[in-house]
Structure 1
Amino acid sequence: MTDNLAVDDLSVNMSEMAQYTMEAELYLKQLANKTRLMVLCSLMDKELSVTQMLDHVDVSQPVISQHLALLRESKMVATRRDGQTIYYRLADERVKQTIGLLHKFFCAQNDLT
């Protein structure tokens, strides 16, 4: 049996792939929470402050702040300070692409069904 897997015409060495499974697991765990997913979706096309996010995510300000701290720690969001206001944006291209795919598969009105 070969130690390679064909993925989209690419040959992937399984032992090399194993090195990245922990990173992939942590990435997916960040996405596997409704509040964090809603926060990331709200940041898809724009940066927002916590106050602005309250209009998009139906949880309290402290809850959003806790989830943003986790997303910042995992480098999925970045910040920009303007006076006393901190604005959040998606910081990782993988997150942008993943959220885009999730939107396409689960949110967009299309003929996938």
Structure 2
Amino acid sequence: MPRVTALSPDDRASVPADVAPLDAVPPEAASLDVARLRAAACDATALLRALANEDRLLILCQLTQGELSVGALEAQLDIRQPTLSQQLAVLRAESLVTTRRDGKRIYYSVADGAVLAVLACLYDQFCPKS
């Protein structure tokens, strides 16, 4: 694992202005309970592991627009139904999506605001601005 070191003044100059420096972390963060941090890190790694698949990330990004059926996701994302079902099962198992049944159709939506917040951050960093 790489060591995290403080940025030199020259390195700081190359950091975009909208990125908060590490010294902007509140002082109380330094005294946080390690057990609580470990639990939070466990939750974060579970979310990041689930997001580390292109199809799952695309599915979640599409669901940020609202609830969608499997058929709608398949049409919009061009992901074949077997693959889509497999990836939706992973997202369900990780509690990242919720489901609602209406007759024979199952509708999916993003489970909570924390997932939406991470997706918004990823969108801001990686998606082209038009």
Bin of the TM-score, shorter chain as denominator length = 0.7 to 0.9
Q: Give the structure with the larger strand fraction.
A: 1
Give the alignment's Cα RMSD to 1 decimal.
2.0
Aligned ranges for residues 29-108 of structure 1 at < 5 Å? 29-108=49-128
Q: 1:106 offset after TM fit, Å?
A: 1.3
1:9 equivalenced with 2:26 (yes/no): yes
Q: 1:36 offset after TM fit, Å?
A: 0.2
The CA distance in 1 between the partners of 2:103 and 2:27, in whole Å, is: 48
Q: Give the structure with the larger helix fraction.
A: 2
Q: CA separation of 1:53/1:17 partners in 2, compared to 1, >3 Å: closer, same or farther?
A: same
The CA distance in 2 between the partners of 1:14 and 1:35, in whole Å, is: 36
CA contact (8 A) 1:75 1:92 kept: no
The CA distance in 1 between the partners of 2:98 and 2:23, in whole Å, is: 34
Q: Which moved more, 1:12-21 or 1:90-99?
A: 12-21
One-letter identity of the residue aligned with 2:97: V
- Give percent identity, aligned residues only: 37
Q: Which moved more, 1:5-14 or 1:79-88?
A: 5-14
Per-residue CA distance 1:17-66 (angstroms, 9 max, x = gap):
12322222111100111000000011011111111001222321011111
Structure 1 residue ranges without an equivalent (≥5): none
